[in-house]
């Protein structure tokens, strides 16, 4: 199956695996490659990109399901869009996921404190000490976002957009369901979870952001909907 993967999918798979193994060997990589809130002293501009290749070191299912989804749904999309455009699509979906997640986080901080940067100027040690007291504002500064899930939800959205009537079936669903309904259902669940469980450790808003920016990009490129 590996030889049948399209070029960009194959390379994304390899890069994600290298990052995962590397971060297991060098745990401090999480401090530099996962993405922090922009006002955090731990934030670096490259994290906007590198966070998409980092996964939870204590939960192998995180990377497994992301890469499984990439391999299952990505090749057909790459064949339609072409390698260069697909890579742009994947990266922009991931960046869009970060943008929406960070924007909403900033709005929440503003409503709670009257500032988008309530801890501006504090050192990392000071923020960590404050976070240890349970401060939600401090926690926003020291808990990073990581994972390919935002980009993957862009891929899922693109699959449902391009191949809406292809039947999909998973172990927990006994009958085939058209892609537009199954993937649409996944996205609706993420929207619900982001609204009902805002403090969840899973960045549901990032998933929604990946799907949203993926959709907007397909519309901007004027890719015809549901012709496959």
pLDDT in tens, 75-111: 999 999 999 999 999 999 999 999 999 999 999 999 9
SS3 24: helix
Question: H/E element holding 167?
Answer: strand 167-168
Cβ(163)–Cβ(76) below 8 Å: yes
Annotated domain spans of the chain: 2-220
**Residue 228 predicted with pLDDT over 90:** no
Query: Was domain 2-220 assigned CATH 1.20.1530.20?
Result: no
Per-residue pLDDT band for 175 (boundaries 50, 70, 90) equals: confident
pLDDT for 96: 97
Q: What percent of the chain is modeled with pLDDT above 70?
A: 94
**Mean pLDDT lowest among 18-27, 85-94, 195-204:** 195-204
Question: H/E element holding 178?
Answer: strand 177-178
User: pTM for this structure?
Assistant: 0.94
- Averaged over 211-215, what is the pLDDT? 97
- Averaged over 149-156, what is the pLDDT? 97
- Averaged over 46-59, what is the pLDDT? 96
């Amino acid at each position: 199956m590996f030889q049948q993967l399209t070029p960009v999918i194959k390379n994304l798979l390899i890069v994600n695996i290298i990052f995962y193994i590397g971060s297991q060997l060098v745990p401090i990589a999480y401090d530099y490659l996962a993405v922090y809130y922009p006002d955090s002293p731990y934030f670096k501009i490259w994290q906007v990109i590198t966070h998409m290749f980092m996964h939870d070191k204590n939960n192998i299912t995180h990377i497994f399901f992301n890469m499984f989804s990439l391999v299952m749904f990505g090749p057909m999309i790459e064949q339609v869009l072409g390698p260069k455009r697909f890579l742009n699509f994947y990266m922009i979906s991931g960046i869009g996921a970060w943008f929406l997640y960070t924007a909403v986080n900033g709005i929440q901080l503003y409503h709670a404190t009257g500032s988008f940067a309530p801890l501006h100027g504090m050192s990392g040690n000071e923020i960590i000490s404050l976070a240890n007291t349970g401060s939600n504002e401090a926690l926003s500064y020291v808990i990073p976002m990581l994972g390919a899930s935002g980009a993957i939800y862009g891929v899922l959205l693109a699959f449902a957009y391009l191949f809406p009537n292809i039947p999909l079936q998973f172990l927990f669903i006994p009958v085939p369901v058209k892609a537009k309904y199954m993937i649409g259902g996944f996205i609706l669940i993420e929207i619900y979870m982001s609204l009902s469980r805002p403090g969840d450790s899973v960045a549901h808003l990032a998933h929604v952001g990946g799907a949203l920016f993926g959709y907007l990009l397909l519309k901007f490129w004027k890719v015809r909907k549901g012709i496959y």
